[in-house]
Structure 1
Amino acid sequence: MQLKKTSGILILLFALLFALTGCKSGNDAPESETTGSTWRYAHEEFEGDVQDVYAHKFKEYIEANSNHSIQIFRFGELGESDDIMEQTQAGILQFVNQSPGFTGSLIPEAQIFFIPYLMPVADEDVVRFFRTSVAINDMFTELYAEQGLELLSMYPEGEMVVTADTPVRSPEDFRGKNIRTMTNPLLAETYRAFGATPTPLPWGEVYGALQTNIIQGQENPIFWIQSGGLYEVSPNLIFTGHGWFTTAMMANQSFYQGLPGEDQQLIRDAAAHAFNYITEYIPGLGDRMLERILEAKPDVTVTRLSEEEQQTFRDRAPQVEQRFIEMTGERGARLLEQFKQDLDKVMQD
């Protein structure tokens, strides 16, 4: 599953291809409503995974309510997460789905989702938070706009679960383990606080690194552990209760702002349609995927930390929160304060 970084070559090839074929980039003026346009949309996951489901619901709405069409690219078809973001900012792609784990290099405040034990883990609470949060629906929009991105939707994908070469119940059990992290400084800080050695790797290298014991573990939502076959080479699943995987869907801002008002509204409505679907699709998904894993490999172990065991990790979370504030300054502190207010409201309702 090795995949080389090829963003520069890809951008050049796409630019040449579009020039030869007469295709327009995301920064060109839109085609007329009569002929419609083909818009390109890339995400980070495989066929049938959460981002793919969201993308197809977005496509379904656009194509049912306009003459436009959506071309979807899955993981690996245009490179990895960094590649598709570069292509979106360059206007080669009109839409991209990317998690804050990778966007954090552009938008440090997006790393807030990696502060452990900040968010609840119950499906219903998480969905309600994403629907109602001021931090999510207002403050993040401004942060993405600064990077030339029109934020259309942020949505949860699943509770984060750790896989490792041995079961883990305490920070001491993490000692000496290289745990793969996304290229995200705050996530690295989390696993450092947990007692492990954070090891940033692109997704394409993870399976092989687990197989060859270069790394001894990683974290992902259960559906991704299942679809990526990670349980085959990292067969001990640990439910730490420390957070949820979150992603964001966005458009190239120049492309979006250059559209007529009716197309902008069409895109907003399509994003809302896909968000509503995915927030009904997510609850229970983890349990269904866990059943598939256990059916495929019955010797997989499942460890669910007790409240007392979780507390030993919770006690280390404040140092990650402090590091987030140091990295993001006053803006990050304001975002974190609003984030907590939004969460408190959800938990009190």
Structure 2
Amino acid sequence: MTFKKLTGLILIAALSLTIFSCKSSNEAPEAEEKKGATWRYAHEEFEGDVQDVYAHKFKEYIEQNSNHTLQIFRFGELGESDDIMEQTQAGILNFVNQSPGFTGSLIPEAQIFFIPYLMPTGDEDVIRFFRTSVAINEMFSELYAEQGLELLSMYPEGEMVVTADTPVRSPEDFRGKNIRTMTNPLLAETYRAFGATPTPLPWGEVYGALQTNIIQGQENPIFWIQSGGLYEVSPNLTFTGHGWFTTALMANQNFFNGLSEEDQQLIRNAAAYAFDYITEYIPGLGDAMLEKILEAKKDVTVTRLTAEERQVFRDRAEQVEKRFIEMTGERGEKLLDQFKKDLENVMAGEV
């Protein structure tokens, strides 16, 4: 057992003891409400990364507008992504911020974000889509609720960029490469279509696997490539334009439903406040982080696919969309239809 895993188990035990103590307390409910509660929130990223920035804005609103406090746990402090989701569903954590890349095993329809070339590439277009999409803001809530989760917000973090041991411009360049993917069946389908061998790995193993050539590449937004130091062991960056990294904030539904209407609205307002902040924060972040990477390591290469090169990958993406519908059935097909309508409205300037 690793030190990080052991530390996480100790923290989980402490949190569980805190919950038990609160439930068995004889303190009057009125006094407890006046004093405020301590809520627990975990996310998947490091200090200063996008999810961490969002979490602290959420915390800021909660603590400035109530007597409650928010305790934030970053990546590794309570385990990997699967661990913090299990803890949220069990009620040990109140909130979890997790990508559909990991939630896809629970909610297959959430894999829609991994259909390549479905999303636009421009920052402002993507942000407008997340603000106005019927699919995101209305249809997803029911899907998350079926898993005991209250969906509070979905937001974009950045364009996905592939890093590899050699530059990539075509499916032929992917041939023979093990590309790390999240534990997401549709993402694996994407890299098969692109010509690579998808290799699911938890985040904690990625750097070492790149360093030892167990895998030859991976995908992430630029800020994550920079903060995780992935460019040090995988120095060839390719902007394929195939998608954006998306994440979602959820609450344990039993916890949320047990709150007063005032606290429920407080949480919704905090999620909206953090969303507004993060959508102002994201534009330009990728360029700034890429500049840091290029300053830190001079042999990093940057490849931006031409329209013709992208089209080769786009043609292969059609089979991924078909696979999504096979995985999710009629419900997934309806979601995809609405998703496309929402995107058409954005690109036509109608919202």
1:72 match = 72
2:252 match = 252
- Amino acid paired to 1:142: E
1:261 has 2:281 as partner: no
Shift of 1:16: 5.2
Distance 2:39 2:153 in 1: 17
Distance 2:258 2:9 in 1: 27
1:348 match = 348
Whether the 8 Å CA contact 1:14–1:92 is kept in 2: the answer is no
- Amino acid paired to 1:226: Q
Structure 2 residue matching 1:219: 3-state secondary structure = strand
Shift of 1:306: 0.2
- Amino acid paired to 1:189: E
Shift of 1:41: 0.2
Shift of 1:299: 1.1
- Amino acid paired to 2:229: G
Give the TM-score of the pair, scaled to structure 1.
Answer: 0.95
Output one character per residue of 1:235-267: Cα deviation in whole Å (capped at 9) or x when no partner.
Answer: 000000000000000100000000000000000
1:166 match = 166
Output one character per residue of 1:158-203: Cα deviation in whole Å (capped at 9) or x when no partner.
Answer: 0000000000000000000000000000000000000000000000
1:217 match = 217
Whether the 8 Å CA contact 2:144–2:151 is kept in 1: the answer is yes
Structure 2 residue matching 1:302: 3-state secondary structure = strand
1:91 match = 91
Which aligned segments of 4 or more residues in structure 1 are displaced greater than 4 angstroms? 2-12
Q: Taking structure 1 as reference, are residues 24 and 224 closer, same or farther at Cα in structure 2, changes over 3 Å only?
A: farther
1:37 has 2:37 as partner: yes
Distance 1:175 1:10 in 2: 43
Distance 2:35 2:220 in 1: 42
2:131 match = 131
Q: Taking structure 1 as reference, are residues 102 and 63 closer, same or farther at Cα in structure 2, changes over 3 Å only?
A: same
2:296 match = 296
Shift of 1:14: 4.0
Structure 1 residue matching 2:34: 3-state secondary structure = coil
Q: Taking structure 1 as reference, are residues 243 and 37 closer, same or farther at Cα in structure 2, changes over 3 Å only?
A: same
Shift of 1:298: 1.5
1:286 has 2:286 as partner: yes
Q: Percent identity?
A: 83
Q: List gaps (5 residues or longer) in structure 2.
A: none
Q: Which aligned pairs between 1:1-349 and structure 2 lie closer than 5 A? A: 9=9, 13-14=13-14, 17-18=17-18, 22-23=21-22, 32-349=32-349
Distance 1:7 1:331 in 2: 41
Output one character per residue of 1:296-341: Cα deviation in whole Å (capped at 9) or x when no partner.
Answer: 0121000000000001100001100000000000000000000000
Distance 2:81 2:187 in 1: 16
Distance 1:88 1:30 in 2: 26
Whether the 8 Å CA contact 1:236–1:300 is kept in 2: the answer is yes
- Amino acid paired to 1:283: P
Structure 2 residue matching 1:32: 3-state secondary structure = helix
Distance 1:203 1:82 in 2: 11
Output one character per residue of 1:188-238: Cα deviation in whole Å (capped at 9) or x when no partner.
Answer: 000000000000000000000000000000000000000000000000000
Distance 1:58 1:340 in 2: 30
Structure 1 residue matching 2:48: 3-state secondary structure = coil
Q: List gaps (5 residues or longer) in structure 1.
A: none
Whether the 8 Å CA contact 2:5–2:78 is kept in 1: the answer is no
Whether the 8 Å CA contact 1:30–1:37 is kept in 2: the answer is no
Whether the 8 Å CA contact 1:193–1:320 is kept in 2: the answer is yes
Shift of 1:120: 0.4
Distance 1:178 1:295 in 2: 28
Distance 1:155 1:30 in 2: 36
Whether the 8 Å CA contact 1:161–1:219 is kept in 2: the answer is yes
Q: Taking structure 1 as reference, are residues 16 and 72 closer, same or farther at Cα in structure 2, changes over 3 Å only?
A: closer
Whether the 8 Å CA contact 2:325–2:332 is kept in 1: the answer is yes
Whether the 8 Å CA contact 2:9–2:78 is kept in 1: the answer is no
Whether the 8 Å CA contact 1:163–1:236 is kept in 2: the answer is yes
Whether the 8 Å CA contact 1:11–1:92 is kept in 2: the answer is no
- Amino acid paired to 1:95: F
